[in-house]
Amino acid sequence: MCGFYGTFLGNKDLAKQMASLNHRGPDDTNYFENKYLYVKHFRLAIIGNQDDAKQPMFSFDGRIGIIYNGEIYNYKELANSIGRKDLIEYGDTRVLVELLSIKGLDCLSSLNGMFSLVIYFKETNEIVLLRDRFGIKPLFYRVEKGSIYFASEIKSLRKIFSCVKFDDRKIINFLDNSEYPHSKDTFYKNIKQLEGGTFLKISQNGFNIKRWFCLKDYYYNFKMENLSYEGYENLLKNSIKLRTRSDVPISLHYSAGTDSTALLLKFKEIFGKEIPITTFTMAYNEPRVDESNLAEEYCKKLNVENHKVYLDAKEVPSLAETVYKFQDEPYAGIPVIAYYKMNKLEKDLGYIVSLEGQGGDEGLGGYLYHIYLAAYDLYISGANKELFEYILKENNLNKEDVIRSSEKILENGFNVHTDMTDFKMKKKKINLDKFVDWLTTIQIYDILINKIPRVLRFHDRVSMSLGREIRFPLLDHRVITYGLALDVKLKFKNGLSKAPLRNIIKSELSGVYRHPKRSVVTPQTIWLKNELKTWAYDRIELLREKKIIPDEYFLNSRNFFSENNSNNSFKIWQLINLSFNFE
């Protein structure tokens, strides 16, 4: 887990002035330079000793060099597959570079991990920029007069290109529709991100982007199998085993929800007392919304150590600016700030790696609008009337509302909050391409475009700003695709969403088993209307005075602070976010 920056065919002296990424890799720094290429690496030591894992790393035959950010969890199995068990003791970086030397890019499908890579082919004088299947690890670039500059964070590129500014169209879309740039785009002009599951090959003859992983194609591998809860649990168990390979201590982020509880129980099942797990929970000094007592209660029942990390309103102004500095782009408010503070305590206590439950909702249809579309699919197909009725009953829905609201979701191009509030009506009807059914279609949308990309960005920048690594067992490409491919009657057994995960926790914590999906509850609205009102108002006024954003976008702020029943604090947070960029 690391960071890097550099250039190929560009101005090496300019590249050397990029903003440091030492926070991403505080354990070691090294660089490589030749006539065409300059790269600098910042290492966070997780697997392998310092000398054996030093980067940039060249294969033993000298043909392939890599700069690498991430982890290949199945490196031991990969070493065995090429008859090189001896490589295991050197760690995953050595295994990866030797695998690339032997098999080239054909080895990509065998990798299980999160990674962004720069691969240098010495014989042909080419490089490949490459990103993992779902873009867990970042990779940004800027093309400049036939050359390319690249980095793990946008700040490195902004440092050397003063002309790089926010893209006005992206900002307006963010304010109008609450949409974050995704796929190839960022909030900045002329700075792109490499899409997950793609690689960019660069030579003196030009640039060529190719996709090496397609979720929809991979889906059919599982759809042909006889899928079951047992099959899902076996993959999840293997994913957890792989993601606990570490030479440093590991903790678990625990919210007391279905996803993190299933991970906790599976971890205990796998390791028992061999590896005791310590959990950390975000908490708020605001009794009206704090739910951390549930996490504390469940951990006591399971005999698991739990640390509750409280965020207080008075800490927000200074932490908000700190977090923005590392995020580079607008982020999602108070929860991200609380996440930063939790990561800081973990780092202070010596926990360098954490497991995180992100991906359960997206892979198994856990959001309220997933439930609506699951019921809508059953209604229009007439395939399973009994399950349709179960879903309505368990989620307190009625048939007419499901039909009306589902059609509205489709008409808006999925542009609605996951709890079915705040529909953002498009000016014209959106024509969506259905994949298998509407539930699977919106799940893939959330995995590739909507939910997962932006949450991964928040998590990566927060954790790596403190020199920490976050691992996502539920985002193992096998686990999340198996969940996608499960028949709706297995995803929604007896009408309850995410049934495979509920099945794991049923015997241990029956309260969590039947608990409906909870939206993340934070004191953001309460604090912005009270303790943080002056700070928030001043930040927004600072932005307004810059005359950069049309005045119409400040009407929400006036209403929010003057009306007791105005509770959409996200619009306020958008403006606070932007005020940091335009200081």
Mark whether 472 and 434 lie in a shared domain.
Answer: no
pLDDT band at 518 (very low <50, low <70, confident <90, very high): low
Tell me, what's the pLDDT at 428? 61
Tell me the per-residue pLDDT of 113-165, one tens digit each, with 9 for 90 and over: 999 999 999 999 999 999 999 999 999 999 998 899 999 999 999 999 988 88
Tell me the per-residue pLDDT of 190-210, one tens digit each, with 9 for 90 and over: 999 999 999 999 998 899 999
Tell me, what's the pLDDT at 343? 98
Q: Is residue 503 assigned to a domain?
A: yes
Mark whether 172 and 58 lie in a shared domain.
Answer: yes
pLDDT band at 420 (very low <50, low <70, confident <90, very high): confident
Query: Is pLDDT above 70 for 266?
Result: yes
Both structure tokens of 444: 């893939």
Mark whether 7 and 77 lie in a shared domain.
Answer: yes
Residues 6+ apart with CB under 8 A from 421: none
Closest CA to 471 of 294, 301, 267: 267
Query: Is pLDDT above 90 for 415?
Result: no
Tell me, what's the pLDDT at 516? 64
Domain extent, residue 170, equals 2-213
- List the beta bridge partners of residue 574: none
Mark whether 106 and 234 lie in a shared domain.
Answer: no
Mark whether 401 and 356 lie in a shared domain.
Answer: no
Tell me, what's the pLDDT at 211? 97
How far is it, in rounded angstroms, from Cα 399 to Cα 372? 10
Q: Is residue 518 assigned to a domain?
A: no
- Which of 122-131, 171-180, 204-213, 296-305 has the least mean pLDDT? 171-180
Instruction: Write down which residue in 484, 513, 542 finishes a domain.
Output: 513
Query: Is pLDDT above 80 for 556?
Result: no
Q: Is residue 333 assigned to a domain?
A: yes
Mark whether 150 and 103 lie in a shared domain.
Answer: yes
Q: What is the CATH number of the domain that holds 473?
A: 3.40.50.620
Q: Is residue 164 assigned to a domain?
A: yes
Instruction: Write down which residue in 193, 213, 233 finishes a domain.
Output: 213
Mark whether 323 and 472 lie in a shared domain.
Answer: yes
Residues 6+ apart with CB under 8 A from 72: 78, 92, 95, 96, 111, 112, 113, 115
As a whole number, the mean pLDDT across the chain is: 92
Mark whether 469 and 529 lie in a shared domain.
Answer: no
Strand pairing category for 147-151 and 192-193: unpaired
Mark whether 89 and 182 lie in a shared domain.
Answer: yes
Domain count for the chain: 4
CB burial string 340-360: b at 16+ within 10 A, e below:
bbbbbebeeeebbbbbbbbbb
Tell me, what's the pLDDT at 33? 96
pLDDT band at 454 (very low <50, low <70, confident <90, very high): very high
Q: Is residue 501 assigned to a domain?
A: yes
Q: What is the CATH number of the domain that holds 76?
A: 3.60.20.10
Query: Is pLDDT above 70 for 425?
Result: no
Mark whether 158 and 126 lie in a shared domain.
Answer: yes
More confident call, 410 vs 514: 410
Q: 3-state class of 335 per DSSP?
A: helix
Instruction: Write down which residue in 476, 494, 513 finishes a domain.
Output: 513
Q: Please give the average per-residue pLDDT across 19-34, as a whole number.
A: 95
Amino acid letter for position 492: F
Q: Is residue 491 assigned to a domain?
A: yes
Tell me, what's the pLDDT at 500? 96
Q: Is residue 444 assigned to a domain?
A: no
Tell me the per-residue pLDDT of 303-314, one tens digit each, with 9 for 90 and over: 999 999 999 999
Mark whether 73 and 183 lie in a shared domain.
Answer: yes
Q: Is residue 519 assigned to a domain?
A: no
Tell me, what's the pLDDT at 520? 63
Mark whether 87 and 32 lie in a shared domain.
Answer: yes
Tell me, what's the pLDDT at 429? 65
Tell me, what's the pLDDT at 138? 97
